[in-house]
Amino acid sequence: MLQIISLLLENKPGALMRVTGLLSQRGYNIESLTVARTLDPEISRMTIVVDVETAQRQQVIKQMNKLINVLQATDLTDLPAVVRELVLVRIRTAQESRAAVLKEAEIFGGRVVDSSTEGFAIEVTGDPEKLGEFVDVMRSYGEIEATRSGAVVIALEAKRLRLQPPVPTRAGGSKVEEPVA
């Protein structure tokens, strides 16, 4: 099944490689991955969707949390969260179906970002499943090309929204916190 992981990681060289390397090393398939800076330029937020067996979900999170550059890895699959993705679709369509295409785009809350005699470029955001439907619909009108951004997610539980390191550290010493194992 698809697991949605939200990751806070230190913006250090090689941090991205550590995450993707770990996933392939442990045999997990990446469905999508996005990464960008947070409000704190030294910390990045990554959203990863991986295809794993349900029994392995906890193991994925635990392995992620072991990476030294990872500040926090959270499994948001079953938690209150908003998942969004963006798709850019170019469609080449005949004159007579232009109006229909625009109508469909509107239904999906799309925005035309380019228009030419050949067709349109349309931008849609939504949850990944909806975008799949949109792409299917567009395909029925003509030749298309689509680029998806991959999912981004934000947790709706206040306590999960943190940009601070999750564990208080004692300089030079080990960190002491009891995990709920």
Partner 1 sequence: MSTLMSGARMLVECLAREGVDCMFGYPGGVTLPFYDVLYDHQIRHILVRHEENAAFAAEGYARATGRVGVCCATSGPGATNLTTGLVDAMMDSIPIVAITGQVSTKLIGSDAFQEADTFGITRPCTKHNYLVKKLDDLGQAIHEAFYVAASGRPGPVLVDITKDVLQGQGHYQPVASVHLPGYKVFTEGHTGQIRRAAQLIQESARPLVYSGGGIIAAGATRELREFVELAGTPAVNTLMGLGGLPSSHPNFISLPGMHGSYAANMAMTNADLLIALGVRFDDRVTGRLAAFAPHAKVIHVDIDPAEIGKNRAPEVPIVGDVKRVLAKLNKLLSEAPPTDEKLSAARRAWWRQIRQWKEEHPLEVVKSDTEIKPQHLMGEIDRISGGDAIVSSDVGQHQMWAAQLIRFNEPRLWLNSGGLGSMGFGLPAAIGAQFAHPEKLVFAVVGDGGFQMSIPELATVASYGLPIKIVVMNNGYLGMVRQWQTLFYNNRLSAVELDCFPDAEKLAGAYGFKGRTIDKPWELAPALEEAVREPGPYLLNVKVSPLESVYPMVPAGGAINEMVLGPPQPVAAK
Q: Which is nearer to partner 1, 18 or 98 (CB)?
A: 18
Interface with partner 1, residue 41, by CB under 8 A: no
Does position 179 interact with partner 1 (CB under 8 A)? The reply is yes
d(CA 62, CA 66): 6
Span of 7-15, 33-41, 101-109, 112-120 interacting with partner 1 by CB under 8 A: 7-15
- Residue 70 interacts with partner 1 (CB under 8 A): yes or no: yes
- Residue 172 as a binder of partner 1 (CB under 8 A): the answer is yes
Subset of 138-157 contacting partner 1 (CB under 8 A): none
| Interface with partner 1, residue 75, by CB under 8 A | no
Piece of the chain touching partner 1 by CB under 8 A; list 27-35, 87-95, 154-162, 169-177: 169-177
